[in-house]
Amino acid sequence: MATTPVTTAPAAATTLSARRRVAAFVALTKPRIIELLLVTTVPVMFLAERGVPSLWLVVATLVGGIMSAAAANTFNSVYDRDIDRLMHRTSSRPMVTGEVGVRAALVFGGVLTVASTVWFALVVNLVSAALSLLAIALYAVGYTMLLKRRTSQNIVWGGIAGCMPTLIGWSAVTGSVAWPAVVLFLVIFFWTPPHYWPLSMAFRDDYATAEVPMLPVERGPVAVGRQIVAYSWVMVATSLVLVPVAPMGWLYAGTAVVAGALFIAEAHRLLGAAKRGVVGPALKPMRLFHYSITYVTVVFLAVAVDPLVYLPIG
pLDDT for the residue 216 = 94
Task: Work out the pLDDT band at 86, boundaries 50, 70, 90.
Answer: very high
Residues 239 and 309 in one domain: yes
Question: Do 255 and 309 fall within a single domain?
Answer: yes
- Residue at 13 is within a domain: no
- In this structure, of 79-88, 189-198, 274-283, the range with the lowest mean pLDDT score is 274-283
31-50 mean pLDDT = 91
Long-range contacts of 32-36 (CB under 8 A, 24+ apart): 33/69, 33/73, 34/65, 34/66, 34/69, 34/70, 34/73, 36/293, 36/296
Q: How far is CA 69 from CA 117, 135, 272, 293, 310, in A?
A: 11, 8, 36, 18, 32
Domain extent for 263: 178-314
* pLDDT tens readout for residues 119-162: 999 999 999 999 999 999 999 999 999 999 999 999 999 899 99
Per-residue pLDDT, 11: 54
| pLDDT confidence of residue 281 | 84
Q: Per residue in 188-204, pLDDT tens?
A: 999 999 999 999 999 99
For residues 132 and 168, membership in a common domain is answered with yes
Instruction: Please confirm whether the linkage preceding 307 is cis (ω < 30° from 0).
Output: no
Q: In this structure, are residues 46 and 123 in contact, taking their beta carbons and an 8 Å threshold?
A: no
pLDDT-derived band of residue 12, with 50, 70 and 90 as boundaries? low
Number of domains the chain is built from:
2
Residues 36-57 have a mean pLDDT of: 94
HSE of 276, CA atoms in CB hemisphere, 13 A: 10
Of 155, 177, 199, the residue at which a domain comes to its end is 177
Query: Based on the domain organization, do 129 and 269 belong to the same domain?
Result: no
Among 9-13, 261-265, 280-284, 305-309, which is the least confidently predicted range? 9-13
Instruction: Report the chain's mean pLDDT, rounded to a whole number.
Output: 92
Work out the percent of the chain whose per-residue pLDDT is above 90.
83
Q: Which of 159, 168, 188, 154 is nearest to 67 (CA)?
A: 168
What are the distances in angstroms from CA 38 to CA 33, 70, 200, 219? 9, 12, 23, 32
Q: Which of 127, 144, 177 corresponds to the end of one domain? A: 177
1 band by pLDDT with thresholds 50, 70 and 90: very low
> What pLDDT sits at residue 10?
57
**What pLDDT score was predicted for residue 7?**
46
In the prediction, which pLDDT does 156 show? 94
- Beta carbons within 8 Å of 23's beta carbon, 6+ residues apart: none
**Segment 202-210 mean pLDDT:** 92
d(CA 212, CA 82) in angstroms, rounded, equals 11
* For helices 286-305 and 221-245, angle between their N-to-C axes, nearest 10 degrees: 0
SS3 label, residue 137: helix
* pTM value > 0.95: no
CATH number for the domain including 66?
Answer: 1.10.357.140
**Residue at which a domain ends, from 128, 148, 177:** 177
- In this prediction, residue 2 carries a pLDDT of 47
